[in-house]
Homo-oligomer: A and B are copies of this chain.
Amino acid sequence: MNKIIVQKYGGSSVSSIDKIKNIAEKIVQKAKEGNHLVIVVSAMGNNTDELLKMAKAVTKKPRERELDMLLSTGEQVSIALLAMAIHDLDWEAISLTGRQAGILTNSVHTKAKVTNIDHAKIKGALKKGAVVIVAGFQGINLNDDITTLGRGGSDTTAIALAAQLKANICEIFTDVNGVYNADPRIVNNACRIPEISYDEMAEMAILGAKVMHYRSIDLARNYKVPIVVKSSFETGEGTMIKEVNSILEKVIVRGVTHEKNVGKIVAEGVPDIPGIAYKLFKALAEKEIIVDMIIQSSHREQINDIAFTVAMNDFDKASKITQRFVKEVKAQGIISDLEVAKVSIVGAGITSDPTVASRMFGALSQEKINIDMISTSGIRISCLIKSENIEKAVKAIHKEFNLEKVGE
């Protein structure tokens, strides 16, 4: 039986006509090997940003339904051009918008979630031997409005399609040749990670590795979609993302990640009433704001400070919600801090071995870097520090765990 392969090409992989032609050649070659190919593409280069700029020039607060109407055109351009490029190589191909590909979502414009895929049209085209090219990042809701899936949306489209079509593999093509154990722009001996588990990759993504969005990795884990992250421009094995059971017992620090796009918010002097923190975080959750680190500390009796971090683009919204909360519960006030950054290590089993955390803190302290907040989950340890220290911190931790010796 023929293999079904889903490939996703990001914006940098289709940023020019030449690149589109180049990708078309790769695709046709793969198709000639007898594979059923479903290709998911993003908008060309910085097209999405340009469209956003236009919207912002029209109005300060564009409505999200209209933003989705606008932004979804970017991918539609890419799929048409890629289909033409494949036709030019005398191979059959058909482009499909998110809607035509049967991608149904909920109604949360600009960050919709895929609720269902009706893949009849895709299956039909594959049967006829055509390469199917699907616009990433977009779908429609039940009201027939165009929706977009937010950051990393094209990855989500690819993985959702791979899951539904029971694809043999989902190949994510990008401008780097895999996932690295630290940002190579900071750590010059950062190494490519040959193989990583869904959980580790999801944490890496949440914590700042830009290669894939954690939402799409969650989806891949749920449906056990094997993923490989590869370069569009070079050959190489890339990084395989899959269930890795064998290594669960062994403590391995997979990588060190960092994230500057975070902000810290502190609600000061909150009365110590049961359920009061829940009240705040529920309000944040209702606006789909993901809170990362949380620390509640008590200075005086029956008065707490609640500190937490959020992603930069949720910062304004989160501040407003916290302000409202502070007023409502008659707390003292609110402190905001944008001069913070988060450095994290990720690896299966690392939190079950106490030496790992202490080595991380030790590396930071040797560089005289103060730790503001700490949070850990099953497979990661994160520290919030001053943003000016972030590069020093990444380098020190990378060295402490000998990460320059991993992989190739």
Contact B73 A59 (CB under 8 A): no
Chain B minimum-CB-distance residue to A75: B73
A67 within 8 A of B: yes
A62 within 8 A of B: yes
Query: Chain B nearest CB: distance from A178 CB in Å?
Result: 29
Query: Residue A76 contacts which of B70, B121, B144 (CB distance < 8 angstroms)?
Result: B70
Contact A81 B100 (CB under 8 A): no
Which residues from B are CB-within-8-Å of A60?
A: 88
Q: Which of A4-12, A50-58, A214-222, A245-253 contacts B (4 or more CB under 8 A)?
A: A50-58
Which residues from B are CB-within-8-Å of A359?
A: none
A66 within 8 A of B: yes
Instruction: State in angstroms the CA–CA spacing of A242 and B94 once bound together.
Output: 43
Which residues from B are CB-within-8-Å of A145?
A: 100
A231 within 8 A of B: no
Query: Residue A77 contacts which of B20, B51, B146 (CB distance < 8 angstroms)?
Result: B51
Chain B minimum-CB-distance residue to A73: B73
Contact A85 B59 (CB under 8 A): yes
A residues whose Cβ falls under 8 Å from a Cβ of B: 17, 20-21, 51, 54-55, 57-60, 62-63, 65-67, 69-70, 72-73, 76-77, 79-81, 83-85, 87-88, 94-95, 97, 100, 121, 144-146
- Nearest first, the 10 A-B pairs at minimum CB distance are A70-B80, A59-B88, A73-B73, A69-B80, A58-B84, A17-B57, A62-B84, A66-B80, A66-B83, A59-B84
What are 10 A-B pairs with beta-carbon distances under 8 A? A51-B77, A54-B81, A59-B85, A63-B84, A65-B94, A66-B84, A73-B77, A97-B146, A100-B144, A100-B145
